[in-house]
Structure 1
């Protein structure tokens, strides 16, 4: 029991040292000269995250279709195709919005 308390204290001390090191050695982030550059970078980052989620859903839809073909389940097949279509729409959200807005 005494060994466990000593290990917990040592791990907490190491964690606290890491947090304090992170707090004291902080670097300053300067904004870009053009505010639109910052907005565009944030937009590209968010659309990149949305694209990653869309690719995951797209892969899940393909797996669902494959499983439905194996089990001969029409309702699962329909859900798989809907998931696949939703994944395609989510993956290409930025391009769809660019086409709509011109």
Structure 2
């Protein structure tokens, strides 16, 4: 029981750290409408990056727990969560490569 409480506390702290690190960028409104849209876009991609990092951390924890318990289905879910977290974390860079 104590281990679950410790994992929840660590997850909450990790989530707070990721959100604080990624959402502390200023969003300035300017007279130029394109600059406003670009600032909002940067803010949204920062939010998406934070969600991706949270998923990445959760996936790493799942893989670690599955290696300890020898559970192949949890291991597969962990690796899929890690892959999804990586894709979500680097979504802006992936879109920039696709667009050119």
In the superposition, the TM-score normalised over structure 1's length comes to: 0.69
**In the aligned structure 1, how far is the partner of 2:59 from the partner of 2:40?**
29
User: Whose Rg is larger?
Assistant: 1
1:55 pairs, out of 45, 49, 53, with: 53
The equivalences for 1:26-45 within 5 A come to 31-45=29-43
**In the aligned structure 2, how far is the partner of 1:68 from the partner of 1:76?**
6
Moved >3 Å (runs of 4+): none
**In the aligned structure 1, how far is the partner of 2:73 from the partner of 2:31?**
54
Residue in 2 that maps onto 1:22: none
Which runs of no fewer than 5 residues in structure 2 stay unpaired? 1-28
**In the aligned structure 1, how far is the partner of 2:35 from the partner of 2:84?**
31
1:64 pairs, out of 42, 62, 65, with: 62
Q: Deviations over 1:25-84 (max 9, x none)?
A: xxxxxx512111000000000000000000000000000000000000001000000000
Residue in 2 that maps onto 1:73: 71
CA RMSD in angstroms, aligned pairs only: 1.3
Which runs of no fewer than 5 residues in structure 1 stay unpaired? 1-30
In the superposition, the TM-score normalised over structure 2's length comes to: 0.71
**In the aligned structure 2, how far is the partner of 1:40 from the partner of 1:101?**
16
Residue in 1 that maps onto 2:97: 99
Q: Number of paired residues?
A: 73
